[in-house]
Amino acid sequence: MDTEDADQLVSLATDRPFWDRFFSVSPLVIVGSKEPNGQHNLAPKHLAMPLGWDAYYCFVCSPRHTSYHNISREGAFTVSYPRPTEVLLASLAAAPRCEDLSKPSLLVLPTFRAREVDGVLVKGCYLFLECTLHSIVDGFGPNSLIIGNVVAAAADEHALRAEDQDESDQIFQFPLLAYLSPGRLAEIRQSTAFPFPEGFSR
């Protein structure tokens, strides 16, 4: 890096949260969990991803959130990936609770039963995961990492990659939803192939 480039850098203090100082790209998912009264909670999460190449999935949560305690108690959770056209579903799932801790906004969310765990998934999404609890790792400041074993997965047929379909065309026709933290959304339609070097392997 030459001196001119270095002069344009702004140092960010790391002794306090700095992630909101810039935009970053994440998925946006809806995590489902079962409440003590037998009803189901749905909450949007963006710090979420596969954990490696095998059937593990993780997301960041907090002991302050209902999802954390539901999953810890019940040992299972679900994950639904909304389409860009269904972002209202994630918004409704983010609505605050009432004084009696109920969440009336969830009553209008269309759901269907999971197959392998006691939970629900959100209709209109394109990817669905059902997970049993692998572990919870506390200690990341006020946050925790919840890790699940994926025991069932399903996807809309249009979301599946196909050898006879151009991938850029597929993504253009069936775009993906991205969360631009903090607080913005994007519809991903344009994409190009990554220039992997010859001989690259994961």
Residue 1, pLDDT > 60, answer no
User: What is the mean predicted confidence (pLDDT) over 71-81?
Assistant: 98
Band of pLDDT at residue 6, cut at 50, 70 and 90: confident
Q: What pLDDT sits at residue 52?
A: 95
Q: Which residues contact 32 (CB under 8 A, 6 or more apart)?
A: 40, 41, 42, 77, 78, 79, 80, 111, 114, 119, 120, 121, 122
Q: What is the per-residue pLDDT across 38-61, written as a single tens digit (0 to 9) for each?
A: 999 999 999 999 999 999 999 999
Q: What pLDDT sits at residue 196?
A: 86
Two structure tokens written together for 179: 């969360």
Residue 3, pLDDT > 70, answer no
Full set of structural domains in the chain with CATH? 24-157+165-188 (2.30.110.10)
Residue 179, pLDDT > 70, answer yes
Taking the CA atoms of 35, 140, 50 and 23 in sequence, report the sign of the dihedral they define: positive
> Does the pTM of the predicted model rise above 0.85?
yes
What distance in Å separates the CA atoms of residue 186 and residue 178, rounded to the nearest whole number?
5
Do residues 27 and 44 touch, judged by C-beta distance below 8 A? no
Mean pLDDT of the chain, nearest integer: 90
Q: What pLDDT sits at residue 129?
A: 98
Q: What is the per-residue pLDDT across 11-25, written as a single tens digit (0 to 9) for each?
A: 999 998 899 999 999
Band of pLDDT at residue 101, cut at 50, 70 and 90: low
Q: Any alpha helices (H) in the chain, and if so which ranges? A: 3-7, 66-74, 87-93, 167-173
Helix (H, G, I), strand (E, B) or coil at 71: helix
Q: What pLDDT sits at residue 102?
A: 66
Do residues 70 and 33 touch, judged by C-beta distance below 8 A? yes
Q: What pLDDT sits at residue 164?
A: 85
Do residues 70 and 39 touch, judged by C-beta distance below 8 A? no
